[in-house]
Amino acid sequence: MKTKILIMCEESATVREAFKRIGYDAWSCDLKPTKIPGQHYQGDIFDIINNWNIIGGKPKAVIGHPDCTYLTNSGVCWLYKDDTRWYKMFDASLFFKQLWNLDIEHICLENPIPHKYATLPKYTQIIQPWMFGHTERKATCLWLKGLPKLKETNNVREEMLKLPKAQQQRIHYCSPGPQRAEIRSKTFQGIADAMASQWGAIIDA
């Protein structure tokens, strides 16, 4: 029987498909439809958490990408420009902690560097796309439970530094528009592949 893994808050299917390729019973869940046809539940993640049978049973590992809009350090200034954002921040923080405290053996949550008001647990490590073959920079925190730190697979930092700033920080300079949030939130393929190759044997152990 294939080991089950659930990728939470993922519409791109990048991480789901990386684990599927190495033989996992991989599922994704998001409020939006999946970009790649496959095992995907479109709806509230707590539908699944409250009834694991929706995906055929409880997974051995979960990887989550909770919404960072109100948690990220880069956007903390907006909290002082709109009081309603504080309430949304509290809800986002609670959601993150609910995922972190799931009774699951292996957990990875991913988000940008958070601000102090989010009161999130201390992250385990910070990774960059250039550590995994992408000539870009985007500091990403990983919160890990039952999993080791992710090791870089293809360091292209020197090549990245030769590029214009706008190319190095493509995600940061992404033009406003309906697809901006989707582009900014998608996991880099090199990181997804590293997660699958490095954590697969540990999850199966």
Tokens 């609670």, residue located? 94
Which of the four pLDDT bands, split at 50, 70 and 90, describes residue 164?
Answer: confident
Question: Any idea what the Cα angle at residue 63 is, between residues 158 and 24, rounded to 5°?
Answer: 100
- What is the b/e burial string over 36-53, where b = at least 16 CB atoms within 10 angstroms of the residue's CB? eeebbbeeebeebbeeee
Name the residue among 84, 40, 45, 37 with its Cα closest to residue 67. 45
Average pLDDT over residues 186-193: 94
Find the helix or strand (DSSP H, E) in which 91 lies.
helix 84-100
Dihedral angle computed from the Cα positions of residues 172, 175, 180 and 185, in that order, rounded to the nearest 10 degrees: -20
pLDDT at position 131: 98
Average pLDDT over residues 59-84: 86
Query: Strands (DSSP E) along the chain, which ranges?
Result: 4-8, 25-30, 40-42, 61-64, 106-111, 125-127, 140-145
Q: CA 133 to CA 1: how far, in whole Å?
A: 33
pTM: predicted TM-score of the whole model, two decimal places:
0.90
Q: CA 196 to CA 122: how far, in whole Å?
A: 23
pLDDT at position 174: 57
Single-letter amino acid, residue 154: N
What's the pLDDT tens digit per position in 44-57?
Answer: 999 999 999 999 99
pLDDT at position 69: 86
Share of the chain above pLDDT 90, in %: 75
pLDDT at position 175: 55
| Domains of the chain, first to last | 4-204 (3.40.50.150)
The pLDDT mean for the chain works out to 91
Indicate the burial class of 7 (C-beta count within 10 angstroms; 0-12, 13-18, 19 or more): buried
